[in-house]
């Protein structure tokens, strides 16, 4: 009879808004997982989060969390500027680490985390959780079974007004501060999309692009255009703009193949449409209430030694490298 895998006991660094519904409860609900402590620099907010979510411990000191022998793994959910330093420190303490996206401000910071993992007993994962959401898993299955033949072209359009409800708000508005976020809203949202591009179509052979500011609402880029070719032969064209009129807002991914096409939106509840020789099919597969929980379940299994890495930092580095190429 095989042994039951040991429970992974989690601590969170940065228990802010993303942890309220999207991720935090997932650590409590995933099989073999337990959330034992949370950390925020604001002690009152750390205590409040712990009380409301039934977490037994809280602290305003990251070092205390990292040195706690009762914690096996750390979820880093701070703004991106501190991801590298916290991940390196956690790995040095022998903890396994799950890093929120954007995992870093650039690919070079990912390399530092990869190097730290190589000398640690801990394991390292990136929170590219859309890989395990029902609609995107269905899309990958359609591609794998040849529903549109051989994929040729992908078009990504993420066009939103400056005050779009899709754009998360925070007290410090760090998402439009390049020194913290690495760039503007492109850096916050495109990892969701570009991770799946690499996950579906493989390594990038060449990429280029540019970023600029057209809206004038802040200093960071609000307009990014990027082009990439994958080793598989697929060609990607992406447009991200965060200052268009409401009437021009769109969120679209379109994959065109030799025998049809697939469309899907990335944010909100997904509507997946397949167009091929059999006509049009529509798939509406609801997301779970805690959208990161399916990914967290796979990360827990990886930390327990039950599966391979569901999203390595090497894969996340390749996403950041593509982003770097699009805005250089």
d(CA 140, CA 135) in angstroms, rounded, equals 9
Distance CA 87, CA 99 (A): 8
Half-sphere exposure in the Cβ direction for 98 (13 Å, CA): 30
Q: Give the pTM.
A: 0.96
List the chain pLDDT tens, one digit each, 328 residues: 557 789 999 999 999 999 999 999 999 999 999 999 999 999 999 999 999 999 999 999 999 999 999 999 999 999 999 999 999 999 999 999 999 999 999 999 999 999 999 999 999 999 999 999 999 999 999 999 999 999 999 999 999 999 877 666 666 689 999 999 999 999 999 999 999 999 999 999 999 999 999 999 999 999 999 999 999 999 999 999 999 999 999 999 999 999 999 999 999 999 999 999 999 999 999 999 999 999 999 999 999 999 999 999 999 999 999 999 999 8
Strand pairing class (151-159; 279-283): unpaired
Buried b (16+ CB within 10 A) or exposed e, 109-135: bbbebbebbeebebbbbbbbbbbbbbb
pLDDT of 2-38, one tens digit each? Answer: 577 899 999 999 999 999 999 999 999 999 999 999 9
**Gap between the terminal Cα atoms of the chain:** 55
CA distance 144 to 57: 45
Domains and CATH numbers, the chain: 8-127+291-308 (3.40.50.720), 134-287 (3.30.360.10)
Residue 328: per-residue pLDDT: 83
pLDDT tens track for 89-109: 999 999 999 999 999 999 999
């Amino acid at each position: 009879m095989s042994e039951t895998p040991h429970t992974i006991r989690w601590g969170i660094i940065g228990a802010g808004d993303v942890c309220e519904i999207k991720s935090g409860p997932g650590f409590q609900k995933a099989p073999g997982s337990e959330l034992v402590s949370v950390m925020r620099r604001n002690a009152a907010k750390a205590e409040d989060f712990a009380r409301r979510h039934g977490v037994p411990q809280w602290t305003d000191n990251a070092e205390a969390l990292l040195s706690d022998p009762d914690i096996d793994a750390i979820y880093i959910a701070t703004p991106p500027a501190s991801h590298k330093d916290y991940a390196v420190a956690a790995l040095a303490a022998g903890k396994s680490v799950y890093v929120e996206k954007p995992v870093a401000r650039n690919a070079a910071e990912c390399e530092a985390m990869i190097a730290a993992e190589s000398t640690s007993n801990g394991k390292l994962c990136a929170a590219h959780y859309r890989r395990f959401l029902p609609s995107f898993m269905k899309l990958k299955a359609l591609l794998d079974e040849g529903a549109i033949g051989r994929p040729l072209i992908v078009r990504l359009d993420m066009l939103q007004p400056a005050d779009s409800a899709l754009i998360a708000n925070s007290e410090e508005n760090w998402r439009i501060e390049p020194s913290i976020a690495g760039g503007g809203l492109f850096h916050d949202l495109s990892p969701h999309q570009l991770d799946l591009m690499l996950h579906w179509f493989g390594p990038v052979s060449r990429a280029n692009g540019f970023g600029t500011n057209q809206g004038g609402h802040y200093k960071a880029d609000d307009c990014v255009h990027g082009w990439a070719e994958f080793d598989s032969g697929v060609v990607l064209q992406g447009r991200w703009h965060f200052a268009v009129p409401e009437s021009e807002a769109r969120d679209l991914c379109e994959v065109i193949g030799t025998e049809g096409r697939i469309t899907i939106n990335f944010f909100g509840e997904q509507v997946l449409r397949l167009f091929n020789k059999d006509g049009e099919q529509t798939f509406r597969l609801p997301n779970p209430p805690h959208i990161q929980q399916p990914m967290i379940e796979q990360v827990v299994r990886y930390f327990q030694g039950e599966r391979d890495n569901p999203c390595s930092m090497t894969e996340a580095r390749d996403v950041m490298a593509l982003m770097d190429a699009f805005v250089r």
